[in-house]
Every structure is written in C-alpha cells, then in structure tokens.
Amino acid sequence: MNLKSNNYKLHLIKESEHGLFFSPIKDEKTMEIIEELAHAFEKNYNRIIDMFMVKPYQKTIVHVYSDREQFYEIIGRKTEGTYDANDNIIKLYTPLNLDDPDIYLEYMFQIVHEFVHEVIQQINPIVGKAKWLDEGTAYFASLQLEHELKNRSKISNIPTLEQLISPTFYDNFDGSAYLICGLIVKFITEKYGINTLNEFIRRNPEGIEEILNISLERFYLEWKQSLQ
C-alpha cells in the first residue's frame, strides 16, 4: 500500500495490531525506527483507550519522517509531531539516530502523546480549543509528566491564576506550559477521579466551576497547594 503526502510518496512500512505506519523512505534504518515507534504505540494503546473509554473504529494511521526540513514543509510549522484532525493522521518527525536513551524516550513519548490527541479529538473536537486540557491531558496520559516529575526535586515558576488564564500563557511559559497543564490534569484526576476528567473532555472543556462545583479561584489555590 502506498500513499501520497503533499508531493511525497509514502510506503507502508509496518502494520501493527492497531496501527498503519508509513514513511517516504523504505530502508533498514527507517524500518528499525518504525518498529520501535510501533512497539511504544501498541504498549500504551489499551491503557489509553481504557482511560478515555473509547473503542476506535479503525486503525491509527501514522506518517513518520526522518528529514526534519521535509517534515516542517509538510506540516507548515516547526514542531516534532502533530495529530492532523483534517485527515485523521498522526504525523511525526523521528531522527534515525536514537542511540541516546533520553532522545529515544522523547520520541517514544511523542507517538503516545499524539495518539492521546487523536483519541481526545475524536471524542470531542472542541477540546482542541481548550489548550490547557488538550495538551495537559496528552502530557499526563502519555506518561511524559510522570517521567519529568521523577527528574525534578520541586516545581518552580508556578504561574499566577491571571497568567494561567491569559491567552498568552503558552507563549510566555513556553515548554514549561506543558508541565503546568499536565499537573492540573493530574490534580483533577487524583482528587476527582478519571471519570471527572472524561466529563471535562466530553461535556465542557472549560467547565471547572460547573463540573467541580467550585470557584476557579478556589480550584487554583487547592491545585497550587498540592504542588508543595
């Protein structure tokens, strides 16, 4: 099976139990990398669909690129990976050299992170507009947050409530915004339960006060206190 992405012909490299993995390059090294990605994907697949109580109706399609500039050209922006809701495809940049254990983990987390986005978007596309919930849930459910917390002694640079709800929060806090939003999702899940997180996703992504029956100010204070 072959596909085309923009002007690039894509080859089916691997079909796993729940995924179809394509790449413009079909060589031994690319196949090795895709084997690793497919393993990480399948290892987390049932955990993710159980967490969000879904049964996907088809296999996940994944496009893998090892040329970063080619990937940027196709995606139209500088990112390492994305779930494209327009065509329901996970698109990833993954370098061919993953010998460094930290880099290896980063890219294995990446495919799980984007799969969480796929699941959430298929449940309720509106979640994509609530970036704290969309990115926070992906960071939490992919286990990236758990991994980062193991390597941190404390959480610093905690934003104020005003900073959190600002439209420029992600611009101002850059990469640490993912950590912060992941911690919010972790707090909701641990204090109120996974069903409550699913209620946010399905019913009202911005409904902290409605769903939790608590003021936004009180929620923020309790969350901040949990970080101490």
pLDDT of 38 strictly over 70: yes
- Whether the Cβ atoms of residue 117 and residue 134 lie closer than 8 Å to each other: yes
List Cα–Cα distances, 24 to 56, 63, 227, in angstroms: 26, 9, 44
Predicted local distance difference test score (pLDDT) of residue 52: 98
Extract the tokens encoding 54: 């879904």
Mean per-residue pLDDT over the chain, rounded:
93
Q: How confident is the model at residue 6 (pLDDT cuts 50, 70, 90)?
A: low
Q: Angle 129-182-123 (CA atoms, 0-180°, nearest 5)?
A: 45
pTM (predicted TM-score):
0.93
CATH of domain 1-123: 3.40.30.160
Domain boundaries, the chain: 1-123, 126-228
Residues 42-101 pLDDT 10s = 999 999 999 999 999 899 999 999 999 999 999 888 888 999 988 999 999 999 999 999
List alpha helices for 1-100, DSSP H: 28-51, 68-75
Sheet holding 81-84, edge to edge: 2-5, 8-15, 19-23, 60-65, 89-93, 81-84
Predicted local distance difference test score (pLDDT) of residue 175: 80
- Whether the Cβ atoms of residue 203 and residue 211 lie closer than 8 Å to each other: yes
